[in-house]
Each structure stands twice: as C-alpha cells, then as structure tokens.
C-alpha cells in the first residue's frame, strides 16, 4: 500500500514535501530540533515537548523499535516527528512494536523523506517558529495561511495540559536494596510534566515522593509536611506560570528546593529574575556545561527553549553555579542563604550522558543538612 504524501510549511514560507508515516491528519506547533543520536522514545514521551514538532538530526530513526521500559510518560507528547529516514527493520530484544505503529496508535503524524539537514540549518539561522504539517492540505500556500493563524509558544501555559489532576504517590520500578539503611525522607515533587527517570533517580536517593499538580498551593504543600520540594521540567513559557511562581515564593526558605529545567526557570522567577526565549533552544545530549565552583565540565542532556536572564538576578542573594560553554547562558543557580538550587539541564539524562547524576546526591545532602538543623 502506497504511503500518503505530506506537506510541511514553516511560518516564514519555507516548505518541504515528504512521506507520511504513523497517523494522518493536520497539526500546527512550534518546530524544533534535537541532536541526540539515540533515545527517540524518551524524546517522544517527554512532556516538555508538548506543543512542539521535533526534527531529529540523526538520519536513521526507529531501528530499535519501541519498548515498555523507556517511556518518560504514558504516551507520546510531541505534536509530530520529522525524520530523514525511518528504519524498515526494527531489531531489539526489548522491542514491543515499531515506531510507525506506535505513532499510529497514539494519532501522531510522522514525516520522512525530507532534507532534515537543510531544515535544521534553516531553524538554526532563522530560529524556532510555528509550522504546519498536513496529509490533507498539500498546497503550501493554503497550509501557510493556517499556520500563521496558530498560536505562538510565547505566553502559552502548556503545563496545564500535562500536569496530573490530583496528587499521587510515586511507585519506583526497583525496590531499594535491603542494605540501604539511610533515613527515608518524604518529599513533594511538582509535576509540570515530570519525566519518570527523574522520579526513579530521586527515589533511589532515599525519598518517598508525593507528586502534586502544578496548581497545588503553598498551604497544601505545607500540610503534607515534606522534607523538601522538587520543581520539575515541563513545557511552555515559564513567565505564563504566575500561579506557580507565586506559591513557590510563599514556601521559599521553608523547605529545600531542587529545580530542574522548567523548575530552574520557575525558581529564577520566584527569586525575582526574568526569563527570555532562546533563538532555537538547547535540545540534545551533548551540551557542555561548566561548574563554576569545581571548574569541571559536564556533558549534559538538555531540552528547553527559554532561559533565565543573569542580569535580572540579585547577585547579593543569588549565585550562578553553572554556565553553558556553547553560548554562555545560565545553566544553574543557587540562593546564597536559603536551601535552594536548580539546573537548566537534565541530570537524569534520559537519553544522554550520566555526568550530572551527582546532583541527586547533592540534593540528598542538602536535605540532610537542613533536617539536621530543623
């Protein structure tokens, strides 16, 4: 059976025609790219990609299929997937289904047989922008008109689309070792689109985790009586989350705080800073970051389109702890007096290198020190 053709149009008028796979239909979203060579399933299921169609720079995608273990959330979160070539044969002992079947099952449009190198170079030069992808509207001029009527990423609260409806207790995949006699601390994790591997690695440090929705108030957090709070990753514009920023300010200093990605941006805003949109964002598994204190360089996994403005922070209270060596943007911060720190990148690195996993042990140490003083 012949596959359907599909049309991709960017808001500046550039268009590509290719072959559709997975679902059929029409979608409008911000178009971004990811430079990771592996981990397409983790990328597809990362809630931080809500409202975005992702272009993979690695040319062959789908060669190890889809399994039940590598999902970062229960379903794909991307609006669409754009690749150079889909693997005709998926070979892996954990494989449960093909990438094409997976996308079709969840009604996600895939596009292949396009020049992803030219597409990514264009996004790098012009910046991330709105795009339309359709198997129904193949006239690029008509699709462009529809794309220009779609909403921009700036100002959008996409967290409301991925946060849970009610609190729940996280159940880790692996039980703690019987020899792990450390004290178990009860903590709260705000779910703005949290990845499962973050919860797994936090749990492994000796924490029982109550996961709460983004709309949870500071009073509700205090009623749980946690030893600490995690602010998770998630999608969209952080400055649109005024209801979250307000509540974080209310419990700032009462509990140790660890912010990751969007959580880092929210902490920066709660500390009086501002954020801005990057031209094309950081999305991949090879971003070099330097730790200001140790001078060590970490190769990090990243997925974000916004950044904290260092000039907006009060340097008498807030310290920049990490910098991006590619473009000198802020990658980490901490409060000089209160127990709160955050990183812009993903220490759980799913997919990606494990250089930054020490941050979970650092969080554990901060909680122990705070509880020892309490």
Q: What are the residue ranges of CATH 3.50.30.20 in the chain?
A: 5-148
Output the six-digit token pair for 285: 């598994």
The pLDDT of residue 181: 77
| pLDDT tens series, the chain, 374 aa | 568 999 999 999 999 999 999 999 999 999 999 999 999 999 999 999 999 999 999 999 999 999 999 999 999 999 999 999 999 899 999 999 999 999 999 999 999 999 999 999 999 999 999 999 999 999 999 999 999 999 988 889 999 999 999 999 999 876 565 557 789 999 999 999 999 999 999 999 999 999 999 999 999 999 999 999 999 999 999 999 999 999 999 999 999 999 999 999 999 999 999 999 999 999 999 999 999 999 999 999 999 999 999 999 999 999 999 999 999 999 999 999 999 999 999 999 988 999 999 999 999 999 999 998 65
Per annotation, catalytic residue among 112, 261, 307, 331:
261
How do 297-308 and 275-291 pair as beta strands? Answer: antiparallel
**CATH second-level architecture of 159-373?**
3-Layer(aba) Sandwich (3.40)
The pLDDT of residue 372: 82
Question: Global pTM?
Answer: 0.95
The pLDDT of residue 198: 97
Distance of CA 131 to the CA centre of its chain: 20
Answer yes or no: 346 catalytic: yes
Q: Quick one: which of 258, 271, 345, 265 has its CA closest to 313?
A: 271
| Residues 70, 345: Cα–Cα separation, whole Å | 19
Class of 5-148 per CATH?
alpha beta
Q: Quick one: which of 306, 315, 316 has its CA closest to 344?
A: 306
| Residues 312, 112: Cα–Cα separation, whole Å | 42
Q: What is the dihedral of CA 46, 69, 20, 118, to 10 degrees?
A: 60
The pLDDT of residue 172: 85
The pLDDT of residue 373: 64
Q: What are the residue ranges of CATH 3.40.50.880 in the chain?
A: 159-373
Percentage helix, strand, coil for the chain under 3-state DSSP, each rounded to 5: 25, 30, 45
Answer yes or no: 261 catalytic: yes
Answer yes or no: 368 catalytic: no
Q: Quick one: which of 233, 232, 208, 205 has its CA closest to 362?
A: 205
């Amino acid at each position: 059976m012949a596959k359907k053709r599909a049309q991709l149009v960017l808001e500046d008028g550039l268009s590509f025609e290719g072959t559709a796979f997975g679902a059929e239909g029409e979608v409008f979203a911000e178009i971004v790219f990811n430079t990771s060579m592996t981990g397409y399933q983790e990328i597809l299921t990362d809630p931080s990609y809500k409202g975005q169609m992702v272009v993979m720079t690695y040319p062959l995608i789908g060669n190890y299929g889809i399994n039940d273990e590598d999902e970062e959330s229960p379903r794909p979160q991307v609006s669409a997937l754009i690749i150079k070539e889909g693997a005709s044969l998926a070979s892996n002992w954990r494989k449960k289904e093909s990438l094409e079947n997976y996308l079709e099952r969840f009604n996600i449009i895939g596009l292949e047989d396009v020049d992803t190198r030219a597409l990514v170079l264009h996004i790098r030069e012009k910046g991330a922008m709105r795009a339309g992808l359709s198997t129904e509207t193949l006239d690029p001029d008509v699709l462009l008109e529809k794309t220009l009527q779609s909403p921009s990423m700036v100002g959008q609260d996409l967290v409301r689309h991925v946060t849970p409806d009610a609190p729940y207790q996280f159940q880790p995949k692996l039980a703690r070792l019987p020899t792990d006699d450390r004290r178990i601390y009860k903590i709260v994790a705000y779910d703005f689109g949290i990845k499962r591997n973050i919860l797994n690695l936090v749990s492994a440090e000796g924490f029982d985790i109550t996961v709460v929705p983004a709309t949870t108030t500071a009073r509700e957090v205090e009623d749980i009586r946690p030893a600490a709070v995690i602010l998770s990753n998630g999608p969209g514009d952080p400055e649109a989350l005024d209801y979250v920023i307000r509540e974080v300010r209310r419990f700032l200093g009462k509990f140790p705080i660890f912010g990751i990605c969007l959580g880092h941006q929210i902490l920066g805003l709660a500390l009086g800073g501002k954020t801005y949109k990057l031209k094309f964002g950081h999305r991949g598994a090879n971003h070099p970051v330097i730790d200001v204190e140790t001078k060590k360089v970490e190769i990090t996994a990243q997925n974000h389109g916004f950044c904290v403005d260092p000039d907006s922070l009060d340097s008498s209270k807030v310290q920049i702890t990490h910098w991006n060596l590619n473009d000198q943007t802020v990658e980490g911060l901490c409060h000089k007096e209160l127990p709160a720190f955050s990183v812009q990148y993903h220490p759980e690195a799913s997919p990606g290198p494990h250089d930054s996993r020490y941050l979970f042990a650092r969080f554990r140490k901060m909680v122990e020190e705070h509880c020892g003083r309490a």
